[in-house]
Structure 1
């Protein structure tokens, strides 16, 4: 973005917050969160939408360390972890709109082989079950394999940890990354396209979104804008040192460029959708996620294009599963209600999934957490208000610093509450 455009955007954003002083106050609050010596963050990129318009953006910290650290900017792309699942679902729902997939059909019909829990061999598993984490698939045997592995061989066996032996398909919610590996495989099978390129054709390209699920095909400019994810612990260690150095976890492209997945030249499309991580491998900026949020708020439209149909968006974010006391694992109260590839945050006091201190903000979207990255995409489609937060690295063990009113980390709570009060409520 040219300097004059950056200045103009800054004036627009500050005007949306009611003046430069209020924007500066929010800047200071977020900077204080990022530099908290007890809970340091390597970088932070946030965006707030109010009434269907972007009113605030802010970045702090380096996207890449080194002799000459590079600052995080509005163009900085992060590996957004499980927010990728929601984005993958948008691509899937495009295929549903095109009549290539049906949510309640037996998913094995698309794969070309039975998809069955060995403990419940007569019960079909559907896309709706995969999208709502009620398929009975589990992550205990892994959820990502190289190009040489056929996911069929993993799913068709009785490998320990692959399937829930006690929960029939459709009966019980347990968050499982493997669901999206199966979804990505199905998307490849019905389209005949490799997942990373299919997502570019269905969603990223039409919306002019930078990044994607395969950094080895990024342009030099895109690679320069990918943030390295950090922790203050070694990659394979559980020992944290908040006063120590930041240690790169993934996407350290300033040191070594990305390489294509091994064996990709001979990869059989539709044999293993985990290859490009539909579950967590998307690299994208907060600014571009803001475009996605505005598209959802504006009934699926982006710059005169109809990306998704309004009824598709309504269905995706509608209540598909609700915790009733014994029908799911809520993960410390975080999961109470689920749509299709999206979480619903009901704002219940003491429920674990309240987004802001004191309540007042019910929303839908997705969270992500991997390699030090903590991501949040939450939107209230009725009011047109939403928040995006991308933390590029955590310096202290998040498990030892839980939130005060939710199952999120304390840093997440502070960021979202500041954004909500200042940028959305205008306090």
Structure 2
């Protein structure tokens, strides 16, 4: 979602796929930092979406790439909604957001650096890395692999929870008969590992934990070393460890919905949901100073806890478009990323809800290793009228909705971070996809104005 060296052994484990990435774009294709006059209509359209009385947004930060180069970035709304003591703080292109499940794709990028270095293998039994035997008790003869975790086919389920305090070892939760195993709700009784797709956050808690054992560091520090620092990003998975400059740019996520009774009131006040650190700083997880890496990485939230800006996500996107090269330095082998973003699972819609997976109402139709795939087909399109096939990830937590979507072959991409809505997005579903209608409108506006370069039909 990473050692510094390339490893021939690690590359051999990946196999071969067809070329996916465009050649590094030439400087002649650059159109960075366009003037507001160039995209004034897009500014106005996005501002209208943010201020739409039927679905007002607390904040919005967007970025678009065309031909591998940034052509548009803008922010709207407020990263913090003020009061009588403290004034409003506007969102800006370098405002950090808790990006929810887009974090999974970034975590996977860190993981793939460990694979390249030969520290991990995609098809090995993860028990070999965890230090305990991880098996679905209903299918004890089926090994669970990183590949099955990354494609949500491991047979793990979220019904038993997916985050525990640092002093709780994962082995005490996941192993039958262990103190916190309970009724075993974290295991599917019907689908063996590798047989059925069910989106599962718990899988990334396992991934983060075995990354710690392979890398020898706490997950958040490991991700800094493997990916975030080499890319020069002021981002992180642990708010208490963010640099002061980054913390001051962190958005509070809001909804006009209570956090206890979950009652929406679009005419009411914005209610902070997470990352409200204006009156008190973030606190490190309890027991951090005693934590043994490789025990339980879930408090660092490899599944959804990355705080990062749209601008810095754009740095990641450009590196992917360039086939693993950033600022002249190769961070990934091209074959590694081609394998990661190749299609490893597709929904077989032969039965109700699919015979080989649960699409969760149309959100999940195809999958790579730790990334969603967005085929340009009816019911799956990201933009109205189609024309944009992409890979990336979606996120949805605490009111935030996020989209990271890139056509890696053409070098086009869009990043959307919306910091909360005044009404329930489920009440305004998309017209042609599983997304909320406001997400469809934002993506279509970005695509038409910044990538295709044509105005939307009136």
Hey, what does 1:420 align to over in structure 2? 447
| Deviation of 1:215 (Å) | 1.1
| Deviation of 1:258 (Å) | 0.2
Q: Provide, for residues 306-343 of structure 1, a one-character-per-residue CA deviation record: whole Å limited to 9, x for no partner.
A: 11111111011101111112000001112111000000
**1:14 matched to 2:41:** no
For residues 219 and 292 of structure 1, what CA distance do their matches in structure 2 show? 19
Structure 1 segment 212-251 matched on structure 2, within 5 A: 212-251=236-275
* 8 Å CA contact 1:195, 1:273 repeated in 2: yes
Structure 1 segment 157-236 matched on structure 2, within 5 A: 157=176, 159-236=183-260
- TM-score for both structures, normalised by structure 1: 0.95
For residues 175 and 150 of structure 2, what CA distance do their matches in structure 1 show? 20
| Deviation of 1:235 (Å) | 1.4
| Deviation of 1:14 (Å) | 2.3
Hey, what does 1:5 align to over in structure 2? none
**1:31 matched to 2:47:** yes
> Which of 302, 316, 341 is the aligned partner of 1:292?
316
**1:43 matched to 2:59:** yes
> Which of 127, 130, 134 is the aligned partner of 1:111?
130
For residues 218 and 110 of structure 1, what CA distance do their matches in structure 2 show? 29
| Deviation of 1:22 (Å) | 4.1
**1:71 matched to 2:90:** yes
> Which of 333, 338, 341 is the aligned partner of 2:370?
341
| Deviation of 1:30 (Å) | 0.3
* 8 Å CA contact 2:168, 2:296 repeated in 1: yes
What's the secondary structure of 1:121's corresponding residue?
Answer: coil
What's the secondary structure of 2:142's corresponding residue?
Answer: coil
* 8 Å CA contact 1:242, 1:396 repeated in 2: yes
| Structure 1 unaligned spans of 5+ | 1-10
For residues 127 and 347 of structure 2, what CA distance do their matches in structure 1 show? 27
**1:356 matched to 2:383:** yes
What's the secondary structure of 1:396's corresponding residue?
Answer: coil
Q: Provide, for residues 265-290 of structure 1, a one-character-per-residue CA deviation record: whole Å limited to 9, x for no partner.
A: 11111000112000000000000000
- TM-score for both structures, normalised by structure 2: 0.88
Number of equivalenced pairs: 411
**1:52 matched to 2:68:** yes
Hey, what does 1:378 align to over in structure 2? 405
Hey, what does 2:301 align to over in structure 1? 277
**1:309 matched to 2:336:** no
Q: Provide, for residues 334-354 of structure 1, a one-character-per-residue CA deviation record: whole Å limited to 9, x for no partner.
A: 21110000000002113xx31
| Deviation of 1:153 (Å) | 1.1
| Deviation of 1:12 (Å) | 4.2
Hey, what does 2:27 align to over in structure 1? none
* 8 Å CA contact 1:108, 1:115 repeated in 2: yes
Hey, what does 2:437 align to over in structure 1? 410
For residues 255 and 285 of structure 1, what CA distance do their matches in structure 2 show? 22
Q: Provide, for residues 201-232 of structure 1, a one-character-per-residue CA deviation record: whole Å limited to 9, x for no partner.
A: 00000001012001111222111000000000
* 8 Å CA contact 1:140, 1:160 repeated in 2: no
For residues 192 and 52 of structure 1, what CA distance do their matches in structure 2 show? 35
| Structure 2 unaligned spans of 5+ | 1-30, 350-354
Hey, what does 1:137 align to over in structure 2? 156
> Which of 395, 409, 412 is the aligned partner of 1:368?
395
For residues 150 and 12 of structure 1, what CA distance do their matches in structure 2 show? 47
For residues 90 and 331 of structure 2, what CA distance do their matches in structure 1 show? 32
* 8 Å CA contact 1:22, 1:422 repeated in 2: no
Q: Provide, for residues 79-108 of structure 1, a one-character-per-residue CA deviation record: whole Å limited to 9, x for no partner.
A: 000000000000000000000000000010
* 8 Å CA contact 2:32, 2:70 repeated in 1: no
What's the secondary structure of 1:361's corresponding residue?
Answer: coil
Cα distance change of structure 1 residues 205 and 12 upon mapping to structure 2, 3 Å threshold = closer
Report which stretch shifted further, 210-219 or 75-84: 210-219
**1:99 matched to 2:118:** yes
For residues 381 and 12 of structure 1, what CA distance do their matches in structure 2 show? 18
Tell me how large the CA RMSD over aligned residues is. 1.1
Cα distance change of structure 1 residues 174 and 12 upon mapping to structure 2, 3 Å threshold = closer
* Runs of 4+ off more than 4 Å: none
What's the secondary structure of 1:256's corresponding residue?
Answer: coil
Cα distance change of structure 1 residues 12 and 84 upon mapping to structure 2, 3 Å threshold = closer
